[in-house]
Amino acid sequence: MSPVPPRPPRPRAHRLLTALTALLTAAGLLAPTPARAADPLLSQGRPTSASSVENAGNPATNATDGNAGTRWSSAFADPQWLQVDLGATATISRVVLTWEAAYGRAYQIQTSTDGAAWTTVYATTSGDGGTDDLTVSGTGRYVRMYGTARATAYGYSLWEFQVYGTIGGGSGCDTTGNVAQGRPATASSTENAGTPAGAAVDGNTGTRWSSAAADPQWLQVDLGSVRTLCQVVLTWEAAYGRAYQIQTSTDGAAWTTGYATTTGDGGTDTLTVSGTGRYVRMYGTARATAWGYSLWEFAVHTTGGGTIPGGGSLGPNVITFDPSMSAATIQGQLDAVFRTQESNQFGTQRYALMFKPGDYSGINAQIGFYTSIMGLGRNPDDVRIHGDITVDAGWFNGNATQNFWRSAANLEVFPSAGFTRWAVSQAAPFRRMDIQGDLNLAPNGYGWASGGYIADSRVTGVVQPYSQQQWYTRDSNVGGYLNAVWNMTNSGVIGAPATSFPNPAYTTLAQTPVSRDIPYLYLDGAGAYQVFVPSTRTNAAGASWLGGATPGTSIPLSQFYVARPGDSTATINAALAQGLNLLFTPGVYPVTETIAVTRPGTVVLGLGFATLIPQNGVTAMSVADVDGVRLAGLLFDAGPVNSPVLLQVGPAGATARHNANPTSIQDVFFRIGGAGPGKATTSLVVNQHDALIDHIWAWRADHGSGVGWTVNTADTGLIVNGNYVTALGLFVEHYQRYEVIWNGNNGRTIFFQNELPYDPPSASAWMNGSTVGYAAFKVANPVTAFEGWGMGSYCYFNVDPSIAAYHGFEAPTAAGVRFHDLLTVSLGGNGSITHVINDTGGTAQGTATVPVNLVSYP
C-alpha cells in the first residue's frame, strides 16, 4: 500500500436528534435521568418485594431496575405494599415515586431496621399520580410504599421507586449486616487444608476453620476500614474455646480487648462488644477439648449500619442479550444503539452490549462511539456470533481516523463474508476475540486509519492492515499478515512475520516480557455475575485461553460497589475504604474529591467507557504504593479547572517493589478538551515500581469544542518515575511539552504512536530552551537502562507549517539505553522534524508523507 496521506481537519460531532432520544426512551433503551439530590440513589438494583403482583410481566423488581419503561403493578385490592432492601441501615432523605395511570390516593412511606416493625416518615390521603418527589427524614434498611386507598379500579402501579440517602444512618446496633462475611481472614494455624480461616467468614454454616491443637490460637478478619463494633457472634463446632478474648486493632499489630471470658461453653456465643478497629480477632488462650479451636462462623456487627452493599443492577445502559431472543429483536436493539452512537463523538451516552453464552445467528452489530460489545462467557468461544461485528467509517465519508472509544471482547465470530471489519483508530481495544476468518483493519473503500490494538486474540485467517499507519498486537495467534504501512509491531504473536523493519515494516518480538489480560465480567454456572481477574504472564506467546481457560481468579459481583451515574464521590470512596472493589456502569461521573484506591489487589473496572471528570481541579484518582491494583476500562476527561494530574499511580517517592504482583493500567484513556473545555498539567503519573501500562491513549484534543493553544492546555501525557515499568501500546498525542517523560530505570516500551501538537502558533511559542519544540518521547538524562521497540512520531503543524521540530525522540547516550525501529513522519509537509532521535536520523519533510526510519539507536 502507499503511505497514508495526512489527516484532514476534523469536524465536530453531530448533535443527537431529539426525536431519536425520545424513541429510545420509549423503547426502554434510554432511561430518563431524574433530578438528583445531594444524597446518592440507594435503591436501584436492590432486592425488592411486594404484597402482590398483577402478573408475571410486572414484578416488584421492575420498580427499582432504573428502566422507566418497566413497572410493578399489584392486585386490585387494598392495602398493598412495595418494599426495597437497601442492604444496610441508611439515613433516608428523599423518595421519588413515578406512578403509572393506576396510582395511590392514600399511601405512606415507611422505614424499618428489620423488615417487621415499621415507622411512617410520610403520609398522604390526596395523592394525584404523576411523579411524587418527597422529602423525608428517617432511618432504616428497608423502605416501602404502603398503599391504603387506590385512585382507580386497578391496583397500584409504579414505573420507578427511588430511595435516596446515605448508608450508615442510625445509632443502634445493626445485627442484620455481617461486615466480616467475605472479608480477608487469617489465622495463627489451620488443622488442615480443608479448614482454612476463610471458611469461618464465608456465610456457609457447613464449612469451618479449625486450628492446631495448641494454645494460644487466633482467627482474624480485615473489615477493610475502621468500624465501631457492637456485637460478635461465634458459632462454635464441638472443639470450642474455654477462655478467649475478642480484640480489635486499627493496624493489625496493636490490639485492644473488647470482650473476655474464661467460662466459654461452646454452641453459639452472641457477645456484646465495645470497640473500634479495622481488624477483629478471636484470641483463644485455653481450649475446652483436646482438639484445637473450631468455628463454623465468625460474624461481626457494627453500630449504625455503615455497610455499603456490594453488587446490584448494572443499570439501564447495560443491554444484555440471550440466545433465546430472536435475531430480529437483537438486531433492532443493536441498530437503535448504533443510530444513537454512530457519530456521537462527544456525547454523554454510554453503552455496554453483553451476550450471554450460546449461539447467535444473522446479526450485524455495528459499533459506534462509547460502545463496548462483549461476551459473558468464561472464554471467548462460550459466545458464538454467526454474523458480524463491524466498525466502519461511513459517518465520516470513509475516513476512520476518528473512530475512537469503542471496544470488542470475549467473543467468537464466524463472519458472514469471511472477514470482520474493525476500522478504528485510538482507544478501540480488541481483546480476547476469536475471529474465524480474516480481520480487515481498514474502512470500506480503504480510506485512512490511524493505529490500533489487539490482545489475547486469535485470527484464523489473515490480518489485513491496508491503510493503518501503525498497529500493535500482543499475545495472540494469527494466520498471517497481508501488508504493513509504517510499522506493524507484534509481541508474543504466533504467526506474525519476522522483524524486517523498515521494508516490510514489521517489528516482532517472539515473546511479551510481562503481560496480563484485562479483568472482565462473566456469568458463572449459576447465572451470577463474576469478575475474572487474569494472572500475570511472563515471556508470553499466544492467546492465554487456547490451551484451556485463562489462569486467574474470580471475584463475585457482590464484592464490588456497582457505581451508577449520580453516585457521590464520597460514597465511592467509602465503598473503597470498606474494602469493596469498584465497578463503574456506563455513564459520566463528576469527581468532586480524589478517588483513593488504597487496598492491595483492588479491581477498578469501567463498563462502556465510563467517564470520570474531575471538578475544581482535583486529581481524579490516586493509587497507593500497594500490590496488584487493576485499573481498566476508564476514560478520564479533564475538567475546566486545571488538575495537576488526572491519574496518579503510587505516591511521589514510592520505593516498594511489586514485581510479584504489579499494578496494571489497561484500556485507560485520557482526554483534554474536545467534549468541552478541559485542562490538566499531566494526564498519567506512574510512581510505582514494576507497574504495567497496557494500552493507553492520552489525547489533548485537536478538534471538538474547548480546543486551542491557550484553551485546552496540557504539558505532558505520561510521566514514568517508577523503575522496572513496562508499557505495552502507548498512544500519546498533541501535548504541549514532552508527550512522554521516562525518568525510571530499567523501563521498557513496546509500541508508541504519537502526533506532536498541531497548533503551536509559531516556533518561538514552542521553544524548549534554545531547541525548537519538545520531543515526543524523552528518556531522562540520569537513566542508564531503557529499551523501546516500534516507536513513531508525526508532525502536522497546521497553524504554522514552517515549524521545524528538532527531534522526535530524546535520550541519554548510554550503553543500556537502546531503541529499535523508530520513525518520524511529516504529514503532507505541514512542518518538519529535523532528526529522529537526538542528532541522529534524517529530516521528515515534504508532501509525499514518507517516513524517516531508524533501525536501531545507538
Question: Phi and psi at residue 750, in whole multiples of 5°?
Answer: -110, 105
- What are the strands, taking DSSP E only, across 495-629? 506-509, 512-515, 520-523, 529-534, 537-540, 552-556, 560-563, 581-584, 588-591, 595-597, 603-614, 621-623
Region of residue 569 (phi > 0: left; psi between -120 and 50: alpha; otherwise: beta): alpha
Of 408, 426, 404, the closest CA to residue 753 belongs to 426
Q: Any catalytic annotation for residue 593?
A: no
CA distances from 846 to 427, 563, 734, 830 (A): 29, 50, 21, 8
Distance (Å, whole) CA 269 – CA 246: 12
Distance (Å, whole) CA 453 – CA 766: 31
**Burial class of residue 256, CB neighbours in 10 A (0-12, 13-18, 19+):** middle
Question: Phi and psi at residue 736, in whole multiples of 5°?
Answer: -95, -15
Catalytically annotated residue among 342, 412, 755, 810: 755
Residues ≥6 apart with Cβ < 8 Å to 618: 591, 592, 593, 594, 643
Residues ≥6 apart with Cβ < 8 Å to 283: 216, 218, 244, 245, 246, 247, 255
Q: Write out the three cell numbers for 813.
A: 547516550
Are 580 and 311 in contact by the 8 Å Cβ rule? The answer is: no
Distance (Å, whole) CA 670 – CA 182: 34
At 594, the amino acid letter reads: T
* Beta-sheet pairing, 595-597 with 581-584: unpaired
Residues ≥6 apart with Cβ < 8 Å to 329: none
Distance (Å, whole) CA 117 – CA 328: 49
Distance (Å, whole) CA 282 – CA 227: 16
Q: Write out the three cell numbers for 242.
A: 474455654
Report the alpha-carbon angle 29-587-456, nearest 5.
Answer: 95
Distance (Å, whole) CA 144 – CA 275: 33
At 660, the amino acid letter reads: A
Region of residue 66 (phi > 0: left; psi between -120 and 50: alpha; otherwise: beta): left
Secondary structure (DSSP) of 1-57? -PPPPPPPPPPPPPPPPHHHHHHHHHHTSSPPPPPP-SSPB--TTS-EEES--SSTT
Residue positions annotated with a catalytic role:
755
